[in-house]
Structure 1
Amino acid sequence: MTQLLAARAGEITPAMRRVAEKEGVTPEFVRQGVAAGTIVIPANINHQNLDPVGFGRGLRTKVNANIGTSTGFPDPARELEKLQVVQSAGADAVMDLSTGGDIDLGRRQIIRASRLPVGTVPVYQAFLENRAKRGNMLTMSAADLFEVIERHCADGADFITVHCGITLEVLKRLKNQPRLTDIVSRGGSFLTAWMLHHGQENPLYEQYDRLLEICLKHDVTLSLGDGLRPGCLADATDRPQLQELIILGELTDRARAAGVQVMVEGPGHVPLDQIAANVQVQKTLCQGAPFYVLGPLVTDIAPGYDHITAAIGGAVAAAAGADFLCYVTPAEHLGLPTLEDVREGIMACRLAAHAADIAKGVPGALEWDRQMSAARKALDWDKQTALALDPRKAARFRQERNPDGHEACTMCGDYCAMKIVGQYLGKASAGC
Structure 2
Amino acid sequence: MSIVTDAKNGIITEEMKTVAEFEGVEPEFVRRGVAAGRIVIPVTPYRDIRVCGIGEGLTTKVNASIGASSDIVDEELEIEKAKAAQAAGADTLMELGTGGDFLGIRKKVCDAIDLSVGSVPLYQAFITAAKRDGSIVHMTEDDLWNATEEQAKLGTNFMAIHTGVNNIVLDRLKAHGRYGGLCSRGGAFMSSWMLHNEKENPLYADFDYLCEILKEHEVTLSTGNGMRAGAIHDATDRAQIQELIINSECAQRAHDKYDLQVIVEGPGHVPLDEVDMNVKLMKSMSDHKPFYMLGPLITDVAPGRDHIVTAIGASQSAAAGCDFLCYVTPAEHLALPNKEDVIEGVKTSKIAAHVGDMVKLNKRDQDLAMARARRELDWEKMYSLALDPELARDVRNSRAPEDTDACTMCGNFCALKIVNQNYDLAK
Give the TM-score of the pair, scaled to structure 1: 0.96
Aligned counterparts of 1:227 and 1:37: Cα–Cα separation in 2: 22
Aligned counterparts of 2:401 and 2:338: Cα–Cα separation in 1: 32
Aligned match of 2:391 in 386, 390, 393? 393
Aligned counterparts of 1:392 and 1:133: Cα–Cα separation in 2: 49
Compared CA separation, residues 408 and 7, structure 1 to 2 (3 A) = same
Q: Which amino acid aligns with 1:83?
A: A
Q: Which amino acid aligns with 2:28?
A: E
Residue 405 (structure 1) shift:
6.3
Question: Structure 2 matches for 1:278-427, cutoff 5 A?
Answer: 278-362=278-362, 365-403=363-401, 406-426=404-424
SS in structure 2 at match of 1:12: coil
- The alignment of Structure 1 onto Structure 2 pairs a total of residues equal to 425
8 A Cα contact 2:122 2:161, kept in partner:
yes
* Structure 1 position 242 matched with structure 2 position 241: yes
Q: Which amino acid aligns with 2:285?
A: L
8 A Cα contact 1:49 1:114, kept in partner:
no
- Residue segments in structure 2 that go unaligned for 5+ positions in a row: none
Aligned counterparts of 1:9 and 1:3: Cα–Cα separation in 2: 10
Q: Which amino acid aligns with 1:420?
A: I
8 A Cα contact 2:403 2:412, kept in partner:
no
Aligned counterparts of 2:283 and 2:113: Cα–Cα separation in 1: 30
Q: Deviations over 1:300-330 (max 9, x none)?
A: 0000110011111111111111000000001
Compared CA separation, residues 404 and 419, structure 1 to 2 (3 A) = closer
Residue 76 (structure 1) shift:
1.6
Aligned counterparts of 2:72 and 2:7: Cα–Cα separation in 1: 42
Residue 188 (structure 1) shift:
0.7
2:184 matched residue in structure 1? 185
Q: Which amino acid aligns with 2:391?
A: K
SS in structure 2 at match of 1:414: helix
Question: Structure 2 matches for 1:31-430, cutoff 5 A?
Answer: 31-46=31-46, 48-257=47-256, 258-362=258-362, 365-403=363-401, 406-426=404-424
Aligned counterparts of 1:338 and 1:185: Cα–Cα separation in 2: 21
Residue 348 (structure 1) shift:
1.2
8 A Cα contact 2:401 2:411, kept in partner:
no
Which consecutive aligned stretches of 4+ in structure 1 deviate over 6 angstroms post-superposition?
A: none
- Residue segments in structure 1 that go unaligned for 5+ positions in a row: none
Q: Which amino acid aligns with 2:337?
A: P
Q: Deviations over 1:176-211 (max 9, x none)?
A: 101112210001100011000100000100010111
Q: Which amino acid aligns with 1:265?
A: E
8 A Cα contact 2:59 2:361, kept in partner:
no
8 A Cα contact 1:290 1:322, kept in partner:
yes
8 A Cα contact 1:245 1:282, kept in partner:
yes
Aligned counterparts of 2:424 and 2:143: Cα–Cα separation in 1: 75
SS in structure 2 at match of 1:314: helix
Q: Which amino acid aligns with 1:250?
A: E
Residue 165 (structure 1) shift:
0.3
Aligned counterparts of 1:405 and 1:426: Cα–Cα separation in 2: 21
SS in structure 1 at match of 2:270: coil
Give the TM-score of the pair, scaled to structure 2: 0.97
Aligned counterparts of 1:347 and 1:191: Cα–Cα separation in 2: 33
Residue 403 (structure 1) shift:
3.4
Aligned counterparts of 1:64 and 1:233: Cα–Cα separation in 2: 22
Aligned counterparts of 2:253 and 2:2: Cα–Cα separation in 1: 15
SS in structure 2 at match of 1:7: helix
